A and B are shown apart, each in its own frame.
Chain A
Amino acid sequence: MQAEQISIFLENKAGRLSEVTEILSDNGVNIRALALADTTDFGVLRLIVDDNAKAEEVLKNAGFTVRKTNVVAVEVKDQPGGLHNILRTLHKAQINVEYMYAFVRQSGNNAVMIFRFDQPDEAVKILSENGEAIIKGDMLYSM
């Protein structure tokens, strides 16, 4: 039920981000969602792409430090309290959200959030039990 995300280590240097997008573009990899966590010295770029294996390979070949991480994509009802219900459920089960960001496309009328949990398997189980819709990786990459 989990999806794969590619993370890339970037020093805070001008043009570094565009080098990543250029490499992906040249190799026909489509970015589905993106989030950048930054500090004063470095950043971690997180990407959901349509071809993880290819993205990892071409970025590594270009000398980047790349890592695959499992994340969970959850449908969030586009109405007040939609996200809150999910977070409350997780909080009750004592599952921590390491970080989260929004997916570009909608699933039907719902928004899609990407979550990184400290206990991903447990999170998927609890959310499913509470009727939340999880989007599988294959679906997500081609949405």
Chain B
Amino acid sequence: MIYDIEYETMPREALESIQLRRLQATVSRAYATVPYYRKKFEGAGLKPGDITSLNDLQQLPFTAKQDLRDNYPFGMFAVPMDNVVRIHASSGTTGKPTVVGYTSRDINTWAELMARALAAGGATRGDIIHNAFGYGLFTGGLGVHYGAEKLGASVIPISGGNTKRQVLIMKDFGPTILTSTPSYALHLAEAAEEMGVSFKDLNFRFGIFGAEPWSENMRREIEEKLNITAVDIYGLSEVIGPGVSIECHEAKSGMHIPEDHFIAEIIDPATKEVLPYGETGELVITSITKEAFPVIRYRTRDITSLNAEPCVCGRTMIRMNKISGRTDDMLIIRGVNVFPSQIESVLMEIEGVEPHYQLEVDRKDNLDTLTVRVEVSQGVFSDEVKELQRFGGTIAKEIKELLGISAIVKLAEPKSIARSEGKASRVIDNRNI
């Protein structure tokens, strides 16, 4: 179902004229109300009036996560606090959290976008949505919640954690849509199995998963274990939260970006040059309707590519491909760029491997080493040591073939690798560099 037929299927020409008008308004307002943007524009010798076409966006300076941190907590807000009705913040694992604000109209915009997203993922008014995204400063829980209510579906605000209770509620309330991180979805499947509950007997039809990168293989695994159709949702609090893009369940091939609210670009993270559609690089987003926290050319640090091909679902909005890595998650091991998602895709291609793994990078005698810990499931366990060693050898060989680097594969006992109930922490870098 398409929630907003008028906008989501708008011809490109009409869309671009709306985009230009909204971009100009956003740039003018940011310049007038946020000292950071005024300074940046002046440094580049630009005035808001210089933006006369969508192409002029490329002249504007980029905004990075560090800029948001430098203006912690409220320095990037474009409206007085009187008009801010909600504050969210991203986790501060790599420094101070980044703080974002919303006006009442922003909250409504976000709810509209999430209603569109949930509908694209298969939800209708009649659905019961089991929302296992965390509620709180993190945007996942409340983002889905408001969108579900806007759509008219019934939402169970279960949040993350307390997995056993979640399984009981899934059994008793009969929710039809699951929203969570993909790793938590698999964690739920394991917990249900241990409690003797089969997803085949539950009412779930669709799952909408995001907040961490996941592979096509992980999708297959989730769809099989949960007996659902699984789609990917993308978002980040700096831009608005979840709802920045969504896969339609018809195609499950790329996430539609609501371009009447955001303009997406792909740049080469090293040269900062804008890349054409289809090429892989860092996603850069400009918000064109947000009031409290506009972002201009925000570098998401997520690696993807854009696809302007028409989609079977009828939406005219451009699609972005699955996130294949992070510019800052990227590990450089012996000079080779390695994204954890690449290792994941190798593991998932091998029969019987559980999607739980951990990468550990060390430096011994000035040489980087990559250790991949993989759990030995019931399915691959052999009582013969040489079979287990062959299994480990196969994984090492596949990694070597894909990445060109040698990895040490360590076989671990089932469930010995920590399961995250939020974003999975799959990389331990001990190199201190």
B376, B384, B410: the one contacting A65 at CB < 8 Å is B376
CB under 8 Å from chain B, chain A span 63-88: 63-67, 69
Minimum Cβ distance to chain A for residue B308 (Å): 48
Q: Is the interface of A mostly helix, strand, loop or mixed?
A: strand
Q: Are A46 and B411 in contact (CB under 8 A)?
A: no
Minimum Cβ distance to chain B for residue A12 (Å): 10
Q: Are A44 and B414 in contact (CB under 8 A)?
A: no
- The interface size bin for chain A is 20 to 34
Interface hit among A3-11, A21-29, A133-141: A3-11
Report the separation of the CA atoms of residues A67 and B388 in the bound assembly, to the nearest whole angstrom. Answer: 13
Cβ contacts under 8 Å, B381 to chain A: 7, 9, 65-67
Cβ contacts under 8 Å, B383 to chain A: 5, 7, 44, 46, 67, 69, 116
Judged by a CB distance under 8 angstroms, whether B71 is at the interface is no
Q: Are B412 and A11 in contact (CB under 8 A)?
A: yes
Nearest A residue to B381 by beta-carbon distance? A65
Minimum Cβ distance to chain A for residue B356 (Å): 13
Nearest B residue to A39 by beta-carbon distance? B385
Cβ contacts under 8 Å, B59 to chain A: none
Judged by a CB distance under 8 angstroms, whether A129 is at the interface is no
Q: Knowing A44-B385, A46-B383 touch, does A65 contact B378 (C-beta < 8 A)?
A: yes
Q: How many residues of B contact A (CB 8 A)?
A: 17
Judged by a CB distance under 8 angstroms, whether B413 is at the interface is yes
Identify the interface centre among A9, A11, A41, A99: most chain B CB within 10 Å of its CB. A9
Nearest B residue to A71 by beta-carbon distance? B383
Cβ contacts under 8 Å, B412 to chain A: 11
Q: Knowing A39-B389, A65-B377, A65-B378 touch, does A10 contact B413 (C-beta < 8 A)?
A: yes
Q: Are B382 and A67 in contact (CB under 8 A)?
A: yes
Q: Are B414 and A42 in contact (CB under 8 A)?
A: no
Cβ contacts under 8 Å, B411 to chain A: 9, 11, 41-42
Which residues does A use to contact B, with CB under 8 Å? Answer: 5, 7, 9-11, 37, 39, 41-42, 44, 46, 63-67, 69, 98-99, 116
* 3 tightest Cβ-Cβ pairs between the two chains A and B: A7-B383, A65-B381, A69-B383
